[in-house]
Amino acid sequence: MKTNYLERMRDYLQDEYDEFLKTIDKEMYKGLSVNTTKCSSSFVEENFPYKLTPSSFGENCYLFDANVKAGSHWTHLAGLYYLQEPSAASVVKALDIQEGDWVLDACAAPGGKSHQIACALNNTGFLLSNEIDPKRANILLSNMERCGVGENMITCSPLERLAPQIQGVFDKVLVDAPCSGEGMMKKHELASVEWSAENNLACQKRQLRILDEAVSCLKEGGILVYSTCTYAIEENEAVIYEFLKRHPEMELLDGGDHVKRRGLPYKDLDVSKVRRIYPMDGGEGHFFAKMRKKGGMKTSILKYKKVKKISPLAIEFIKEQSDLSLNLIEINNKVYARKEMFLDLDVNVLRQGIYTGEVVKNRFEPHQHFYMSSLLMSHYRHVIDMNKEEAQLFLSGNVFPYEQKGYVCCSYKHIPLGYGKGDGTQIKNKYPKGLRTLKAFDRTD
């Protein structure tokens, strides 16, 4: 690591610097956040292939051995948790999300914090997850699909285009800002190679621009949480100090007792209210600050999608497969479902609601998202609960005997994994080819 970076860390940490140095050569902390919309934490504890240790950074969060892998295990494929660096889980708790809240995750990829927000909302309210980078936005989409999130919208837009359409409508806003990534240097070698004080300042300018747009989306009395995975004062305390100067309608609140370490001294900022995490604390590194909007401002008049004719093939499929009544829209022959009405925004929308499937010629082709939905998982009319051998066959793309005809949700231990189509003798496997694995029940030490 660069000498001037280490010298700065010595200045930050003083008596703790030697302890920090010892963490540099250690493996990254690994953790997960349980998807409580699909199962309980105890279920994950019982079925996860390795020992889990509860994390202090958030409810339903755990640490596990850094030398093992779990991404191909059936519990992960089923969306029962999100693999997440432990300190990252601390941020959403500070938002204090309540069921029914409207929440904006302004810089959402790859999706760990959006997943936590969705769990807190529990299929109520509304989550808008935005990501400006198209490649990262598609990773976000994939992760939200696996976790079965449906009462949400995923957008790929510059915030300056999105924000004017949603001013003053959100109860909670999260800005997990793009940063120099000093806390992720073990994971991303480029963060170490490209580190410079000039880059810290360049990140600061971008972070303030994002905050200036994001704050406009917040209701009066709403909560905004700003976070980074870097240690730099320039991107943390200095950003909050400048932001509060620019926005007198915002007040700094205490970040909460789930993280004990306070901020570093900076001018007259009350750093006892902001929070820092270092590797010595049990996570790779995070900073966050919690703020509340004292004054009101302009509120956008939201537009909703006009309901047009839905293909009878789609309506027939949904009624035949689920006993839950939902709102539907059809866009370019693709059908989506939500509990509530569909928002209409003039940005690039990757998905809104549950992607149910597509009308293809004279038939309806369902989509994996429909069978991964946490909202629908207790409402499917046709379910086969596979044994372990059948589940491994299914997750590897193979067939297994089944006497009935038609589409069926394929589950294991009553947890949906996907779907297939019975022809009267066997299940024709519809599990996505890119997800198939021969090791869904293996420990990969």
Instruction: Look at residues 405, 375, 380 and name the one whose alpha carbon lies nearest to residue 320.
Output: 380
Instruction: Please say whether the beta carbons of 172 and 223 come within 8 A.
Output: yes
Residue for token pair 């306070």: 262
Q: Is 156 considered catalytic here? A: no
Backbone angles phi, psi at 195, to 5 degrees: -65, 135
Distance CA 151, CA 37 (A): 12
| Angle subtended at Cα 439 by Cα 436 and Cα 445, rounded to the nearest 5 degrees | 135
Q: Which of 61, 147, 156, 229 is catalytic?
A: 229
Q: How far is CA 79 from the centre of its chain?
A: 12
Nearest CA among 379, 429, 443 for reference residue 76: 443
Q: Using alpha carbons only, give the angle 75, 80, 86 rounded to the nearest 5 degrees.
A: 100
DSSP annotation string for 285-353: -EEEEEEEE-S--------BPPP-PPPHHHHHHHHHHBS---EEEEETTEEEEESSPPB--SS-EEEES
Q: Which residues are catalytic?
A: 229
